[in-house]
Amino acid sequence: MTATHDTPPVWEAQLTSLRERVASFFAQAQASQGIACEQGCTSCCHVDLGVSAVEAVRVQEALAKLPDLIREELTDRAEALASRAPSEEALPCVMLDSTGTCVVYEERPMICRTQGLALRYPPDFIPEEALSARASDGSALSWCPLCYTESIPDRQNILDAVKIDELLGLIDLLYRSESPTESPERTLLRHLVVSSG
């Protein structure tokens, strides 16, 4: 079934639903434990991030709406990221402006939407230095020490990162199957900036 002018594509509705579910989970965790993740903190934003095709298209739409001056600044940052040697310290994400604000915040990728939450991964999925604790079943747990300053996360406030990735992967497959043009499976955000310029 194809979408009409009044009905969004199925992938878009599914992506919106997943984003809303993650936002609701975040709000619950924030309300019950008072986690301190707020706009202005960029400690997890020092990365040259790659995104799936379905997220890339949403970021491209957001980039197209930005004023030319901001897009020029993004292009300068993208070039700085591209010229950085792998051994150098990570630079801030290309999407952060000079005040540390994400210029595509409403369309930010799922990985950004889950930052600040406590996340559950398979036992050997994340590097040892990123490990905060282990669950009783051996799962790796990771959380930001800046967000959980008073206590460790309650069990009901730990998000299963693998399930979120799996759902996003299914939505991405649906998007790519409906897309009239072929898209790469993953694209660096800095490449999106350059291609939108």
Are the CB atoms for 136 and 15 separated by under 8 Å?
A: no
The Cβ of residue 45 has, within 10 Å, a number of other Cβ atoms equal to: 19
Q: What is the pLDDT of residue 176?
A: 93
Residue 23 CA to residue 79 CA, distance in Å, equals 32
- Pairing of β 118-121 and β 158-160: parallel
The model's pTM: 0.87
The pLDDT value given to residue 5: 60
- Residue 70 CB: number of other CB atoms within 10 A? 13
- For the chain, the domains span 10-196
Averages of pLDDT over each 10 residues, the chain, 197 residues: 67 96 93 75 86 96 94 91 80 88 94 92 91 93 86 92 96 92 89 84
CA distance 58 to 63: 9
CB contact set of 65 (below 8 Å; sequence gap of 6+): none
Q: Which of 104, 110, 103 is nearest to 14 (CA)?
A: 110
pLDDT at res. 171: 97
